[in-house]
Structure 1
Amino acid sequence: MKPNKIYFPLFLSAAVALGLLLGSKLSTFSDYQSNNKKAKLNRLIDLIDRDYVDDINTDSIVDLTVNKILENLDPHSVYIDPKEMVAVNESMRGDFVGIGVNFYMYHDTVAVIKPVKEGPSEKAGIKAGDRILAAGDYTLYGKNLPNDSLFGKLKGPEGSAVNLTIYRKTEKKEFKVKVLRDIIPLKSVDISFMTDNLTGYIKINRFSETTYREFHNALLKLKAQGMTRLMIDLRGNGGGYLEMAVAIADDLLPKGDVIVKVKNKKGKVDTTFATEKGEFETGELYILIDENSASASEILAGAIQDNDRGTIVGRRSFGKGLVQREMPLGDGSAVRLTVARYYTPSGRSIQKPYGDKGEGYFNEFEKRFANGELYEADSIKVADSLKYRTKEGRTVYGGGGIIPDVFVPFEANHGEEATIMVMQSGLVNYFAFEQIDKNRNYFDQLNLTELKEEIFSDEKYLDEFKKYISGSGILLSFHQKDKILTYLYAEFVRQLKTDLDYYKILLQQDNMAQKVLSLEK
């Protein structure tokens, strides 16, 4: 949910702003002070660069300075170095240029878990289980292969060609294939489908530049299939572009409803209202949230809750009510600086306290587990002084996340939280790949029913998974055998069949989704 270089006019600007507050008569003194501070910092770095006894990368000193400044602000004001900016920009833009494969390093070799559907690799004939041995003359296997070298060889300009050397284990053959790099979408809407004749389900993993378009297209598709109830899943969604959450809320709220209020340091409040363009303003609406739903997810959930437009289902959200603006620093890096606070339509701030700006702030799972709020709604601590009213007069609270209208406890029994978290991690993905890879020809010919029987027929795969986990140094409880096997089965299905099949399987045992399906308005 590092700096390389920064230009010190940041400090100059801060000093000038302070001088303006003191009055125009002090402007000359302010300019002197700010220039003096700038000269002092630059002088120190020059002295270290010229005279310090050991060789020092002064860029790293600047990095430390910038990070130290930002650490004294808030947990969400951060520096992003040029290398990180590439990945950040791709994620938020919603696409990148590459060959289009999901892969991981298996026994020091690039193993294709699955090619992107209709992507460049699939079009070139690359299949799941293939090993990519080389890109041109550059070898892509070995223990010391750095990730940046690997990605650098597989990515490239749109339309450019890369000649790959492939080993296909199922046929025991090596061959070469030319792949034309193309734009690969990074979906922010994982899936959308009808869970029954009336209920549509849309899963949003983040709010990127393409999110509203993806959501809107999914919404229209579901409406065409007869949807009258909509479930929007924001669990694990850490946020992104506020504008995308606002656009989605506009599709769900009638004209004139307040969506969000944003207040800057000068006290100016910008209020955003819903327009007349909404595509789903009257049907039943449910928003699924959990402790990892943050920022833009909370904007959307708060707008729906405060306007009494729908029902918020799940557990208390993360509690991020700060707005950041990304500001480039001229060398490919940027600072993401908090510039405002947002407020839900009822006027509540849901930003949780950030006295602890470190790991404890970002990972409250253990704290929430300890105080019992993952299992009991009554354990959620609220302050009467932060009481607000929704449009229809219901009581809601500020001060630390969105509290759901319908509470659904964590899906594991006490003591089994770690097991479920592992089952939702990438370890299951890799385990399934390795099991399939042992006899891919056999698994490829199984239908869904036969695959389920293969996984559930005995405890073979449960035992293999226990060994796999223990080999990674993880000790887990395996009391919930059926739930664990269902996660394993779903992952086998995702790799061998489709994402749609995967989500349909997991939704059948999903406590929150099943709670929504059991509710009657």
Structure 2
Amino acid sequence: MNTRQKILIPILLATACAAGVMLGGKLDFSSPDTLFSSNPKKQKLNRLIDYIDYEYVDDVNTDSIVDLTVNRILENLDPHSVYIPKEEYAGVIENMQGDFVGIGVSFYNVNDTVVVIQALEGGPSEEIGIRGGDRILYADGTPLFNNNISNDSLTKHLKGEEDSRVTLKIKRKGIRDLLTFKVKRGRVPLKSVDAAYMLSPKLGYIKVNRFSETTYKEFQNALKDLKEKGANKIALDLRDNPGGYLSEAIKIVDEFLEDEKLILYTKNKSGAVEETFSKQKGLLENGDLYILINENSASASEVIAGALQDNDRGTIIGRRSYGKGLVQREMELGDGSAVRLTIARYYTPTGRSIQKPYDNGNESYFKDYMRRYKNGELNSADSINVDDSLRYETPKGKVVYGGGGIIPDIFIPLDSDNERNNIKLLLHGGYMSRFIFNVLEKNRSFYNNVQRENFEKEVVISDEMVQDFVHFVKGANIKLNVNNQKSLLKQYLKAVIAQQLYGTTAFEKLINKNDPAINKVLELSKKNQ
């Protein structure tokens, strides 16, 4: 892989940060009686569209013109005010709700057949015994195994109204006849807490991948469970977390701060300031706290890191965060589409704006990762450019800076080993997941019967499997040299097997072994015992 390939995934992740900090409420301006109906600017645009519809010499899709116009308008505002087309809006809402209605499986389409990767935890399929490797051949008598059915059609057969029923005919390896499952569709969690487990007898670990409507509840349950297991210290992993609902992040911060501590304040167009303080008894107001961030930790993740850093609470570990200090609200446009519009800026308790500059346009803004990569900032804290005019002090005298992201208290460099980065890239690109699915398919009877507590001992990644994976990615024109990183590749392949068999906590537990940031947390935790 070349340098451009190596940095592709972080750039894509950084671009996804346009999701941003959101207030959570939605405004609908679709009513004809709204204040905006008499706006002459709006009338001007409407009249132009009518002229094109009725008078222009050729037939024109004015819907696409409107979409283009809306996008162009928003591009001239800021990088995080975005248009969401109606064909994408339902998926956006579903992702941020934290659940969806369906049968609760993840699947691949293999040789025109729906093959279950795993039954999702907490979903209807898991409850009735559908499992990885099952082939769903019929749904209410409709065959799902021909190449005329699109992914959208498959989704329609498997999703549906809550409490509605679908009869599935399933082929399972080792069983001659088709199995019949009558599934009542229900709410399937889209978890935002990927993992929660003990790193040591007193140190718990929680990984949050985004901030949806259910994140605080998931986090609170995870924290309570870890405390029951003996945790009085917590490592909160917000690496690669692009943000989400501001309210969920605020409630998480409140679990770590004493009452009446400033969490953040926002300032809107008119200059009105709204302050948010901690107000409830937190589950961990006094124990040691470690927050892990990196260059893809954005918006709501930065709210948490900034609030805790400015209140001298905990230790921030990693690399400088993304740098997004703008607050959005989703506003429906009446035709199934929506706009996510910046309505305020937020500031950390010391008064910092951590929004990075966007004066040079969106393209330059979203290439900021490349600049950081080239100037050495990702490998050396000394390469981080700070502006002395944006220097602030916390109550205990710690120096912090505004102007673009949260600078960690303890810096962890990006791994400079090219092959190690290539392996991570292949993980994020989905190559490992597809390869491991094929591995499991060859021996489902064994893998589906491995008990979780015996997994690490019974499942061994052989040198032959490593070579099979090298050959697999070679088929996608990717040359992978693993001579110096064979043990790491084995670790990642094993983690993906655990993920497909048992879920994300099992994956994170294995992937975090020998992780430099996690090792630093363990080192600090031992010193503070």
So what's the TM-score if we normalise by structure 1?
0.89
**Alignment partner of 1:125 is 2:162:** no
1:209-288 equivalent positions in 2, closer than 5 A: 209-288=213-292
Q: CA 1:357 to 1:114, structure 2 compared with 1: closer, same or farther past 3 Å?
A: farther
Query: Which residue does 1:374 correspond to in 2?
Result: 378
Q: CA 1:446 to 1:152, structure 2 compared with 1: closer, same or farther past 3 Å?
A: closer
Q: CA 1:135 to 1:512, structure 2 compared with 1: closer, same or farther past 3 Å?
A: same
CA separation in 2, counterparts of 1:427 and 1:131?
Answer: 21
Q: By how many angstroms is 1:421 displaced?
A: 2.2
Q: By how many angstroms is 1:474 displaced?
A: 2.8
Q: CA 1:432 to 1:86, structure 2 compared with 1: closer, same or farther past 3 Å?
A: same
Query: Which residue does 2:489 correspond to in 1?
Result: 484
Residue of structure 1 aligned with 2:507, choices 493, 502, 508:
502
Q: CA 1:156 to 1:96, structure 2 compared with 1: closer, same or farther past 3 Å?
A: same
CA separation in 2, counterparts of 1:236 and 1:480?
Answer: 23
Q: By how many angstroms is 1:124 displaced?
A: 3.2
Query: Which residue does 1:318 correspond to in 2?
Result: 322
Q: CA 1:425 to 1:509, structure 2 compared with 1: closer, same or farther past 3 Å?
A: farther
CA separation in 2, counterparts of 1:283 and 1:117?
Answer: 31
Q: By how many angstroms is 1:223 displaced?
A: 1.6
Query: Which residue does 1:150 correspond to in 2?
Result: 154
Q: CA 1:138 to 1:356, structure 2 compared with 1: closer, same or farther past 3 Å?
A: farther
Question: For each residue in 1:432-466, what CA deviation from the matched residue of structure 2 results, as whole angstroms up to 9, or x when unmatched?
Answer: 1111101212333456767667544x421111111
1:15-414 equivalent positions in 2, closer than 5 A: 34-35=39-40, 37-143=41-147, 145-171=149-175, 173-358=177-362, 360-362=364-366, 364-414=368-418
CA separation in 1, counterparts of 2:50 and 2:93?
Answer: 33
Query: Which residue does 2:10 correspond to in 1?
Result: none
Tell which deviates more after alignment, 161-170 or 370-379: 161-170
CA separation in 2, counterparts of 1:69 and 1:498?
Answer: 42
Tell which deviates more after alignment, 160-169 or 228-237: 160-169
CA contact (8 A) 2:194 2:505 kept: no
Amino acid at match of 2:496: E
CA contact (8 A) 1:291 1:365 kept: yes
Amino acid at match of 2:508: Y
Query: Which residue does 1:462 correspond to in 2?
Result: 466
Larger radius of gyration: 1
Amino acid at match of 2:278: A
Q: SS of the residue aligned with 2:312?
A: coil
CA contact (8 A) 1:411 1:511 kept: no
Q: By how many angstroms is 1:515 displaced?
A: 0.8
CA separation in 2, counterparts of 1:412 and 1:175?
Answer: 51
CA separation in 2, counterparts of 1:366 and 1:59?
Answer: 35
Amino acid at match of 2:74: L
Q: By how many angstroms is 1:288 displaced?
A: 0.5
So what's the TM-score if we normalise by structure 2?
0.88
Q: By how many angstroms is 1:206 displaced?
A: 0.8
Amino acid at match of 2:516: N
Tell which deviates more after alignment, 118-127 or 280-289: 118-127
Query: Which residue does 1:473 correspond to in 2?
Result: 477
Q: What is the root-mean-square deviation in Å for CA atoms of aligned residues?
A: 2.5
Q: SS of the residue aligned with 1:237?
A: coil
Tell which deviates more after alignment, 489-498 or 428-437: 489-498
Return the structure number with greater relative CO, CA threshold 8 A, min gap 6: 2
Q: SS of the residue aligned with 1:252?
A: coil
CA contact (8 A) 2:75 2:362 kept: no
**Alignment partner of 1:511 is 2:516:** yes
Amino acid at match of 1:483: L
Q: CA 1:198 to 1:363, structure 2 compared with 1: closer, same or farther past 3 Å?
A: farther
CA separation in 2, counterparts of 1:419 and 1:260?
Answer: 38
CA contact (8 A) 1:374 1:410 kept: yes
Q: SS of the residue aligned with 1:262?
A: strand
Tell which deviates more after alignment, 489-498 or 343-352: 489-498
Question: For each residue in 1:29-86, what CA deviation from the matched residue of structure 2 results, as whole angstroms up to 9, or x when unmatched?
Answer: xx7xx52x43332222222222334332211111111111111111110111223221
Q: By how many angstroms is 1:505 displaced?
A: 1.6
Amino acid at match of 2:77: L
CA separation in 2, counterparts of 1:363 and 1:144?
Answer: 40
Aligned sequence identity (%): 52
Question: For each residue in 1:202-247, what CA deviation from the matched residue of structure 2 results, as whole angstroms up to 9, or x when unmatched?
Answer: 1111111111111112112222222121100101111111111111
Query: Aligned residue pairs: how many?
Result: 498
Q: By how many angstroms is 1:373 displaced?
A: 1.6
CA contact (8 A) 1:12 1:38 kept: no
Question: For each residue in 1:288-346, what CA deviation from the matched residue of structure 2 results, as whole angstroms up to 9, or x when unmatched?
Answer: 00111100000000001011101000111111100001111122221110000000011
Q: By how many angstroms is 1:143 displaced?
A: 4.3
CA separation in 1, counterparts of 2:165 and 2:469?
Answer: 39
Q: By how many angstroms is 1:260 displaced?
A: 0.4
Q: By how many angstroms is 1:119 displaced?
A: 2.3
Amino acid at match of 1:129: G
